[in-house]
Amino acid sequence: MSYCINPDCPNPKNPHATQECLSCGSTLLLAERYRVLKAIGKGGFGATFLAENAVLPGNPTCAIKQLRLASNDGRVLERARTLFRREAATLGKIGNHPQLPSLLDYFEIDNRFYLVQEYVQGLTLKQEVKRYGCFSEMQVKAVLDEVLQLLGYLQQNEVIHRDIKPANIIRRRLDNRLVLIDFGAVKDEVSQTGLLLDSETMTPNTSFAIGTPGFAPREQMAMKPVYASDLYALGATCLYLLIGQSPRRLDCDPGNGEILWHDRVCISPHLTQILDKMLKPLLHYRYSSAEQVLADLNREPSSEAFSSEETAAELTLANLGESNPRESDGFEETDYGSPPAAKANGFSHPQVPPTPISAATVEMPSPNPSYHDTSGETGGDSVSSSRSLSWTAKRTISNSTALQYTSATDKTSSSASGKLTPQTLKTSYKKGERDFADCDLSGFDLQHIELSQVNFYGSKLVRTNLKGANLHKADLSSASMSYAVCRGANLSNAYLSYSNLSGADLRGANLSNAYLTHANLRGANLCGANLIDAKVSQTQLAMAKTNWRTVMPNGKRSLFA
């Protein structure tokens, strides 16, 4: 199909080989080489289209952003042309980063401006929340870590994105990396003027390109964005991932304007403090750079953040080789927002008064997400409440303010606390069950089993045979996997933070992009393992066994890392 981009066309859809629109007569081959296939988004500046390059072999796809002016005034047009070229230069400058869309072309036709960029296939974070449910704390931290590095790169190049929100962050299907899109609101730091100007006063038209309400801070709404404005928007994005609603739907403190969100989620004080500082209404109290947020995010939480000194000691390197008497308890959050049916440790201390948590629902993910299509997306949509009920969270406040969760259905309680057999595990997984948190799977023979995106949060897998198993994107956080056999297993993008992998056989395992923060790797065999882009420290790796075939996080072999 060929799609007409004339905004006044009554019927833009045409047969594929058509050269001119059958409805309005406009040419369908843009700049004599781009054939538009469909519209994928609309905004204050114009629209975004999916197109193909009709003159290149293979007709590669691309995204075309059409920028339209509200006035035909000559002064407005000339100023817009100058700023359009400046924006194109900015996009060209930052487009060399692998997680930012490359600028392929730009041109002007009939007083309309066009940017041609790399088309990124995948789901936006907003689509992920709508489809799979709210994110866990571990998932939000992973998003923060990845996007903050992107914002650090933008700041080094003196660029402010100005429209950070869940709909503008895509998880690329090709490699599961997060990509920042929609730089239509990008503003080069040297420019202090909006793209559109009022035709009478020649002043910036503040009704355009100021970001999305609920995600843009007050200084950006006043057309005075700074680097910290993107940090606020990222913090607001994290709230959306945790809650499933736009921050503009939340109440604010009438005294200081801060968003009141603590009673909506249960996360660690560590992440709570970081998000609070990112969301400060006043610039003076907010983080000023992405590096500052990353430093706090990667800093070890203080012992006060745990329920007892014993718990804090369990996570120190000096005790990584010792058995953990509470290893089956696990931490507060689990993949896809499902809480473990176990007593939480200190990470579960919310900074909120003891009010009950309402029933929540989750939906398990499909293994084949569709390509990115932002048509119809708005920043204020919330997660549908019509998902099937799979668990009910009940919070009990004891003298030590510890939290306890109890399962509400027979289906989840059998998988959460009962001892499964290998056959019932396989059968349940094939039927769509993914939540096996806090199960005892020790000693199971699960060779070459398909368990992608499974939730084994806090489970026992001591001496479990997972040779050649597919555990892509599995949540194994806080799991006990000592002496487990994971030789040749696919653990790419898996969550293994705080897991006990002491003595585990991980020879030849794919651990690319895996999250191994605070995991116990003492005595683990990583010979021939692929650790490219894995989140793991050199201190952890020093405890494990590696050889020249081990691919380190930086992509180099062990001997040359």
The 10s digit of each residue's pLDDT in 391-433 is: 233 333 233 333 333 333 333 333 333 458 999 999 999 999 9
Ranges 109-118, 312-321, 375-384, 507-516: which has the least confidence: 312-321
Residue 445 is a catalytic residue:
no
* Model pLDDT, residue 392: 30
Return the ∠ at Cα 101 (arms to 97 and 105), rounded to 5°. 115
65 is in an annotated binding site: yes
pLDDT in tens, 173-183: 888 899 998 86
When the pLDDT of each residue in the chain is averaged and rounded to a whole number, the result is 77
User: From residue 495, how far is each of 141, 173, 179, 377, 542 by CA, in Å?
Assistant: 11, 18, 20, 29, 20
**321 pLDDT exceeds 90?**
no
* Model pLDDT, residue 144: 95
Closest CA to 169 of 387, 338, 363, 377: 377
**Residue 369, Cβ density class (10 Å: 0-12 exposed, 13-18 middle, ≥19 buried):** middle
* SS3 (DSSP) at 229: helix
- Span 465-472, average pLDDT: 95
**Do the strands 2-3 and 13-14 form a parallel or antiparallel pair, or are they unpaired?**
antiparallel
Q: What is the percentage of the chain residues whose pLDDT exceeds 90?
A: 51
**100 pLDDT exceeds 70?**
yes
pLDDT tier at 326, thresholds 50, 70, 90:
very low
**455 pLDDT exceeds 50?**
yes
In this structure, which long-range contacts are made by residues 539-547, counting pairs with CB atoms below 8 Å and at least 24 apart in sequence?
539/317, 540/516, 543/320
**38 pLDDT exceeds 70?**
yes
DSSP string covering 86-127: HHHHHHHHHTTSTTSPPEEEEEEETTEEEEEEE---EEEHHH
How many Cβ atoms from other residues are within 10 Å of residue 420's Cβ?
Answer: 18
pLDDT tier at 165, thresholds 50, 70, 90:
very high
Query: Which phi-psi region, left, alpha or beta, contains residue 49 (left: φ > 0; alpha: ψ -120 to 50)?
Result: beta
* Model pLDDT, residue 407: 34
d(CA 280, CA 500): 37
Pick the catalytic residue: 105, 110, 145, 163? 163
**115 pLDDT exceeds 50?**
yes
φ and ψ at 357, to 5 degrees?
-90, 135
φ and ψ at 437, to 5 degrees?
-65, 140
Q: Directed axis angle between helix 290-298 and helix 137-156, to 10°? A: 150
Q: Is the pTM of this model over 0.85?
A: no
User: In which residue ranges of the chain is CATH 1.10.510.10 found?
Assistant: 122-314
* Model pLDDT, residue 308: 34
Q: Which pair of structure tokens corresponds to residue 304?
A: 């006060």
CATH of 2-118, one of 3.30.420.10, 3.40.50.300, 3.40.47.10, 3.30.200.20: 3.30.200.20
**482 pLDDT exceeds 50?**
yes
- Span 106-120, average pLDDT: 90
CATH 1.10.510.10 fits domain 122-314: yes
Residues 6 or more apart whose CB falls under 8 angstroms from that of 274 comprise 144, 293, 296, 297
- Span 312-317, average pLDDT: 36
